[in-house]
Structure 1
Amino acid sequence: MKPSLGGPARPNLEQGPLAASLVEGCIPTIKEPKLRGGRLLWLEQRPQEQGRTTLMRREPAGSLARELTPGHWNLRSRVHGYGGGVYALANDTLVFVDDGDRCLWQLQLAGAAPSQPSRLTSPTDRAFADGLIDSRRQRWLGVMEAGGRDQLVAVPLAGGEPELLHLAADFCGYAALSPDGGQLAWVEWHQPWMPWQRSQLWLARITAAGALEDARPVAGSGAGSGAESPLASSIFQPLWISPTELVVASDATGWWNLQRLEIGTGSWQPLLPLEAEFAMPQWVYGMATTAWDGEQLIAAACTGGVWQLGRVDLAAGRVGTPEAWQPLGVPFDDLAALCAEAGQLVAVASSPTIPEGLLELELASGSWRHTPMAPCPLALEAISRPEPLWFAGHGGQQSHAWFYPPATGACASSPLLVKGHSGPTGMARRGLNLGIQFWTSRGWGVLDVNYGGSTGFGRAYRERLDSQWGVVDVADCAAAAQALVAAGKASDARIAIEGGSAGGFTALAALCFTDVFRAGASRYGVSDPSALASESHRFEARYLDGLIGPWPQARPTYEARSPLAHAGQIHCPVIFFQGLDDQVVPPAQTERMALALQTQGIPVEVHLFANEGHGFRSGAVRIEVLEATEAFFRRHFQL
């Protein structure tokens, strides 16, 4: 296949302001593409169906896509609150998690039409995710969250109760079965650490009866094995490249670099000594930045906030040198969810001018096809391109942001929207974001800040936020905006800040503790970190220990950082959006914050949404949020 951009016919291209309905209302999100036996499968989360996620299939390449789970099926996992790792496939057998009853279901793909799904597990309060098919033993292996701990379990494909294989001390996942079916590798971590802070690679043999034996940590924090530091290090995505060789990304060197473990000798070998990240924070299961097609290793690497796709040369003369990295010539620099098989690779890919879509790459010829979920509604010349901005942030340290100039050109009178990404351990990516283009098409500049604590810039950059959440992120967002004002590219009287979840906390804290911003928007944002520390779900129960301090010993610090406790220091309009089913940031937090501002006469709007949780899934809701935010800012900035 030749390089091509697939997808539906292009609509009439927008030349004026971009409509919110073209941004949020109908474009599905792609998740977890897989190549198995010549089949291409992927998940589509559809905002026009209240966020329902369904499974799609296409074979051979270029044929029409077919929906495998139409109707009421909603493929979603609730493990750790964020889920991921929703389905597994081997040969003709597919197993998935349905959100209706939280059970495992099986689907047979043989023949002209797939079978009707059959339930494998009984409905309980357990949650399943991140599985694989053990074909030799005819079972599903994966994570079951029950009783406040993660378990590796086996579920027979004939159906039945889960069999416990391994009880983690706290959290586990990302299991990988060796090609000969004789060994299992996985990742574990425990509170107070998050998986991107400290984790371990575990390995076990599988007995003839299917049990795990000699389960042990072989790398990562506390393992003290080979090239691995016994101190703080994080392991990402175990990947078998032979029955005796395992590749992982480890940040023991300060960067998530690729390393190879020889199982027989226990020796570790660095594959690529680069100042680049070959991993990302493990918020959800199903993430993949490396792929093995049976003969070659393909990876995505992030340098300076930009992703690149490349081949890792494993030849003896090149491995362990920078020359082992061989970039692949594709025009995409925002990449995720890699999967490869027999010379073919699939990934979720985008660029500053190409919408997110499925990238299919033929590795031998380099030819590729990219299929976006929807055509870009903007003419190429109307797209605002991200410009890297390095500025002196908190403590004078160099920090990074992406600046999107307004379509009319940046000048000293331009309104500016500053965005704080969620996480806060996340990153501002540069793939085409129609939500950002919505603003630039209306004459706004947009500043998407990779404040200290963001990923994509090495472990030291990530650790700037240790004990400093609400300080470093706030200072960096303010400094980035001031740098643009000083450069004559924005008006200091028309700077707004917005964010969701942790980004909402950064936005509210910036309104409290700086005088840079003139309006703010919070989507399900944290306003009371003390409440979050005492009420949060299991996955993040100790997250704030590292971001602020141990709870409750550091209560004075929590109160000092709390927007709710300092609501009297906010003197500008704020708009709030909150789902009533949110289990991460309960609605009471937002309601208390809004009431505190209203009591002191601050202009406030509050939008509450039934049947929405932490992150809005409904397209209609997302359209309302975008339109209401723009109208609120426009009214108060008199635009």
Structure 2
Amino acid sequence: MVTTAPYGAWTSPIEARAVAAHDGRPGFVGVVGDEVWWTEPRPAEGGRRALVRLRPDGTEESVLPAPWNVRSRVVEYGGQPWAGTVTAHGPLVVFSDFADLRLYVCAPDSGEAPRPLTPLSGVGAGLRWVDPVLRPELGEVWCVLEEFTGDRPTDVRRVIAAVPLDGSAAEHRDHVRELSDDRHRFVTGPRISPDGRRAAWIAWDHPLMPWDGTLVMGARITGEGTFEDIRPLAGDLGTGGADGGAAGESVAQVEWASDGSLLFVSDAGGWWEVRRLDPDADGGGPAAGRRLCPSRQEEFGGPLWNVGQRWFLPLENGTLAVIHGRGSTTLGILDPVSGDLVDSAGPWTEWASSLAAHGSRVLGIAAGPHSSYEIVELDTCTGRARVIACRHADVLDPAYYPRPRSRTFTGPDGRDIHAHIYPPHNPDHVAPDGELPPFVVWAHGGPTGHAPMVLDLEIAYFTSRGIGVAEVNYGGSTGYGREYRERLRGQWGVVDVEDCAAVARSLADEGTADRARLAIRGGSAGGWTTAASLTATDLYACGTISYPILDLTGWATDETHDFESRYLESLVGPFAEVPDRYRERSPLHRADRITAPFLLLQGLDDVICPPVQCERFLAEVAGRGIPHAYLAFAGEGHGFRRADTIVRAVEAELALYSRTFGLDRTDVPALELRG
């Protein structure tokens, strides 16, 4: 029976516990012998990442019991945390454990506990490891070492290092061999040529982010397993900042082909494209190499937020598995000789930047508007794609899932703004004639990021209750080429705020949303955009601000981690040259302009957006009569991973909307707001 009820007052079977239980997605897929391995979130187990294996007989099991947490903290966002191989005694895996950040080795079929390979350090944040490459013939694992040299978050160096597998370095730092020097601030793990004689990796330096400009570095590997003749092979660091200078070239991934040529993804042509060069015959340098699919103005890569991401992979028959698209992504097989590209079929519209191959099989992680992220296998011989693990299972009737559509809106100066619109949807309810629904604008993090159109139970939680969601890929987002991505250069807090507002106004103007019941929310950089929006416009009735940046000056002066410590030079401008801009745009110094109620959510262990910024912001708001609530969560960092935290945050957000929009809801605890 269909019931008529006001928007926002609908009853829904999608509870916050279901949202929390299905938060996160599998990651870092790989092949160990004939088995497929990956990491998987466990919100109910303290938010740990479990390492899971799929045996040939279809049995799926955890490799390591709780509390082992297979996750890296290099550049805080981590990256590829494990590598595995098969020995005469079964699988052997090396992994980073999040608890102490050491590398461990484990033979899971032996029944023995993992053994540490690397030492602890009492200096700063210690020693961290990511993007491992097993070299059993040398008795080593090669990976990125992030080593803190002092107590400040920027007292850090990064090199490619070799760690002995015999455990001799577990107590002795000097047993770790450094393969590269630390001439560059940031490096990725090495990719080894098929003949074992060359290594290639990606490097870049402050103030650049990896989507601004990177270099492909190459070296010859000696018989003793050391690097020599280290030199750049491709890429360009450029000289540009927010206010001018020559643009760099972003190389996001590098691999070796079976013939010894170098394959890499470069945006020299305005889009991340796959290129090939001969490291001996080609001169290298900016815009080097031959484009392998020049007919496509699409992205074949993305922003390197995690060390070791993979958007393409060479296959044994000479073709390439590639993730590509414009706004959304698909998995295809590229012939590097002809440039022909054949896409896989299936319901998936978004592929994570993680690929593995086993013979003619390609493994990836994909989702769609009606399914969560799954482990998908593509058989390149038959063209058949199928789910082999983490299969999406409807926890409730999919009739309650939202019905999204992608749209392009017009913003200031006639610019395009891409967004995904999720109208309210519930088969049990309709709204009274003439009523317009409340809508919440979701601003994604990054800000160099992208909101994919995939099934998200958190969105369904709101849409099934009669609250619409608009995910805005504002200027600065990835997936639409470098020109779109660089709209935010020097304009953070301006373009993102304008684009979100333009989408909200358009929805109201066309009669899709209730102009009086618009809200905005976001986390991290999206939290910044939310707070900046509340100080810049009276468009929104309320906002939810999660683990945000609120004070640009503090963030630019040792109040965040090293990776993003100079990110603002491109987003805002060099601090030494435009200090007033940092103050003028910061929500902290515009708190007197806020008139709308807000909810502030923060993890107390967050080193990227530390809680001290929230505390200063709340001090500025205090006594101004603005209703607000602050929920701080012990044990949570940047982004929430624990089930209880997620439940409390989701219910508190709904309670804010219920109170602000005048909704009749009794299914969530009341949110106490203070002025």
Q: TM-score range by the shorter chain?
A: over 0.9
Give yes or no for the alignment of 1:621 onto 2:645: yes
Identify the residue that residue 108 of structure 1 maps to in structure 2.
107
Give the alignment of 1:261-300 within 5 angstroms: 261-266=277-282, 268-273=289-294, 274-295=296-317, 296-300=319-323
Contact 2:411 2:499 survives alignment (8 Å) = yes
Amino acid across the alignment from 1:106: V
Give the alignment of 1:88-99 within 5 angstroms: 88-91=83-86, 92-99=91-98
Please give the alpha-carbon distance, in whole angstroms, between the structure 1 residues aligned to 2:71 and 2:510: 46
Shift of 1:396: 2.3
Larger mean Cα displacement after TM superposition, 564-573 or 590-599 = 590-599
Amino acid across the alignment from 1:567: A
Report the 3-state secondary structure (helix = DSSP H, G, I; strand = E; otherwise coil) of the residue aligned with 1:166.
coil
Please give the alpha-carbon distance, in whole angstroms, between the structure 1 residues aligned to 2:195 and 2:24: 37
Please give the alpha-carbon distance, in whole angstroms, between the structure 1 residues aligned to 2:228 and 2:435: 66
Identify the residue that residue 77 of structure 1 maps to in structure 2.
72
Which digits, 9 at most, give the CA deviation of each residue in 1:21-57, with x for residues without a partner?
1111355531101023211101112111111112111
Identify the residue that residue 5 of structure 1 maps to in structure 2.
none
Larger mean Cα displacement after TM superposition, 39-48 or 284-293 = 284-293
Report the 3-state secondary structure (helix = DSSP H, G, I; strand = E; otherwise coil) of the residue aligned with 2:453.
coil
Identify the residue that residue 612 of structure 1 maps to in structure 2.
636
Which digits, 9 at most, give the CA deviation of each residue in 1:303-322, with x for residues without a partner?
1x11111110123xx23xxx
Amino acid across the alignment from 1:162: V
Shift of 1:114: 5.4
Q: 2:208 aligns with which of 190, 193, 199?
A: 193
Amino acid across the alignment from 2:518: I
Please give the alpha-carbon distance, in whole angstroms, between the structure 1 residues aligned to 2:247 and 2:537: 37
Contact 1:353 1:431 survives alignment (8 Å) = yes
Contact 1:241 1:294 survives alignment (8 Å) = no
Please give the alpha-carbon distance, in whole angstroms, between the structure 1 residues aligned to 2:391 and 2:614: 34
Q: 1:552 aligns with which of 576, 579, 584?
A: 576
Which digits, 9 at most, give the CA deviation of each residue in 1:108-164, with x for residues without a partner?
25xx55543121112221111111112332211111011311111001111222111
Please give the alpha-carbon distance, in whole angstroms, between the structure 2 residues aligned to 1:27 and 1:603: 29
Please give the alpha-carbon distance, in whole angstroms, between the structure 1 residues aligned to 2:256 and 2:85: 16
State the Cα RMSD in Å: 2.0
Larger mean Cα displacement after TM superposition, 375-384 or 529-538 = 375-384
Please give the alpha-carbon distance, in whole angstroms, between the structure 2 residues aligned to 1:306 and 1:412: 33
Give yes or no for the alignment of 1:386 onto 2:404: yes
CA 1:203–1:223 in structure 2 vs 1: closer, same or farther (change >3 Å)? farther
Please, what TM-score do these two structures have when normalized by structure 1? 0.92
Please give the alpha-carbon distance, in whole angstroms, between the structure 1 residues aligned to 2:362 and 2:549: 39
Q: 1:368 aligns with which of 385, 394, 400?
A: 385
Contact 2:212 2:237 survives alignment (8 Å) = no
Please give the alpha-carbon distance, in whole angstroms, between the structure 2 residues aligned to 1:529 and 1:385: 38
Contact 2:445 2:525 survives alignment (8 Å) = yes
Shift of 1:378: 4.0
Identify the residue that residue 245 of structure 1 maps to in structure 2.
261
Amino acid across the alignment from 1:346: L
Give the alignment of 1:100-499 within 5 angstroms: 100-108=99-107, 113=110, 115-124=112-121, 125-146=126-147, 147=149, 148-159=156-167, 160=169, 161-168=175-182, 169-222=184-237, 231-266=247-282, 268-273=289-294, 274-295=296-317, 296-303=319-326, 305-315=327-337, 318-319=338-339, 324-336=340-352, 337-370=354-387, 371-372=389-390, 375-407=393-425, 413-499=436-522
Larger mean Cα displacement after TM superposition, 168-177 or 575-584 = 168-177
Report the 3-state secondary structure (helix = DSSP H, G, I; strand = E; otherwise coil) of the residue aligned with 1:521.
strand
Percentage of pairs with the same residue: 37
Contact 2:344 2:378 survives alignment (8 Å) = no
Amino acid across the alignment from 1:543: Y
Amino acid across the alignment from 2:71: R
Please give the alpha-carbon distance, in whole angstroms, between the structure 1 residues aligned to 2:580 and 2:483: 27
Shift of 1:383: 2.0
Amino acid across the alignment from 2:185: D
Contact 1:512 1:563 survives alignment (8 Å) = yes
Amino acid across the alignment from 2:130: A
Please, what TM-score do these two structures have when normalized by structure 2? 0.88
Identify the residue that residue 501 of structure 1 maps to in structure 2.
524
CA 1:261–1:115 in structure 2 vs 1: closer, same or farther (change >3 Å)? farther
Please give the alpha-carbon distance, in whole angstroms, between the structure 2 residues aligned to 1:394 and 1:412: 29
Report the 3-state secondary structure (helix = DSSP H, G, I; strand = E; otherwise coil) of the residue aligned with 2:49.
strand
Amino acid across the alignment from 1:342: G
Report the 3-state secondary structure (helix = DSSP H, G, I; strand = E; otherwise coil) of the residue aligned with 1:96.
strand
Shift of 1:523: 0.7
Shift of 1:438: 0.8
Please give the alpha-carbon distance, in whole angstroms, between the structure 2 residues aligned to 1:40 and 1:202: 30
Shift of 1:469: 0.2
Amino acid across the alignment from 2:619: L
Contact 2:441 2:470 survives alignment (8 Å) = yes
Larger mean Cα displacement after TM superposition, 81-90 or 471-480 = 81-90
CA 1:223–1:514 in structure 2 vs 1: closer, same or farther (change >3 Å)? closer
Q: 1:40 aligns with which of 36, 41, 52?
A: 36
Please give the alpha-carbon distance, in whole angstroms, between the structure 1 residues aligned to 2:381 and 2:537: 54
Give yes or no for the alignment of 1:583 onto 2:601: no
Please give the alpha-carbon distance, in whole angstroms, between the structure 1 residues aligned to 2:207 and 2:23: 37
Which digits, 9 at most, give the CA deviation of each residue in 1:526-580, with x for residues without a partner?
1111111112211011000000011233110011111111111110100011111
Please give the alpha-carbon distance, in whole angstroms, between the structure 2 residues aligned to 1:355 and 1:93: 30
Please give the alpha-carbon distance, in whole angstroms, between the structure 1 residues aligned to 2:386 and 2:23: 19
Please give the alpha-carbon distance, in whole angstroms, between the structure 1 residues aligned to 2:13 and 2:64: 36
Report the 3-state secondary structure (helix = DSSP H, G, I; strand = E; otherwise coil) of the residue aligned with 1:136.
coil
Identify the residue that residue 227 of structure 1 maps to in structure 2.
none
Please give the alpha-carbon distance, in whole angstroms, between the structure 2 residues aligned to 1:107 and 1:609: 33
CA 1:520–1:128 in structure 2 vs 1: closer, same or farther (change >3 Å)? same
Identify the residue that residue 30 of structure 1 maps to in structure 2.
26
Report the 3-state secondary structure (helix = DSSP H, G, I; strand = E; otherwise coil) of the residue aligned with 1:613.
coil
Which digits, 9 at most, give the CA deviation of each residue in 1:338-397, with x for residues without a partner?
111201111111000111111122221123332336522343333213211211124321
Please give the alpha-carbon distance, in whole angstroms, between the structure 2 residues aligned to 1:527 and 1:71: 36
Larger mean Cα displacement after TM superposition, 531-540 or 113-122 = 113-122
Please give the alpha-carbon distance, in whole angstroms, between the structure 1 residues aligned to 2:511 and 2:251: 43
Shift of 1:213: 0.7
Please give the alpha-carbon distance, in whole angstroms, between the structure 2 residues aligned to 1:17 and 1:388: 26
Q: 1:87 aligns with which of 82, 88, 95?
A: 82
Please give the alpha-carbon distance, in whole angstroms, between the structure 1 residues aligned to 2:66 and 2:400: 38
Report the 3-state secondary structure (helix = DSSP H, G, I; strand = E; otherwise coil) of the residue aligned with 2:231.
strand
Contact 2:606 2:638 survives alignment (8 Å) = yes
Report the 3-state secondary structure (helix = DSSP H, G, I; strand = E; otherwise coil) of the residue aligned with 1:137.
coil
Amino acid across the alignment from 1:391: F
Identify the residue that residue 4 of structure 2 maps to in structure 1.
none
Gaps of 5+ in 2: 1-9, 150-155, 170-174, 240-245, 284-288, 664-675
Report the 3-state secondary structure (helix = DSSP H, G, I; strand = E; otherwise coil) of the residue aligned with 2:137.
helix
Please give the alpha-carbon distance, in whole angstroms, between the structure 2 residues aligned to 1:202 and 1:360: 32
Please give the alpha-carbon distance, in whole angstroms, between the structure 2 residues aligned to 1:59 and 1:483: 51
Which digits, 9 at most, give the CA deviation of each residue in 1:175-194, with x for residues without a partner?
21112211111000000000
Report the 3-state secondary structure (helix = DSSP H, G, I; strand = E; otherwise coil) of the residue aligned with 1:203.
strand
Shift of 1:94: 1.4
Give the alignment of 1:522-561 within 5 angstroms: 522-534=545-557, 535-561=559-585
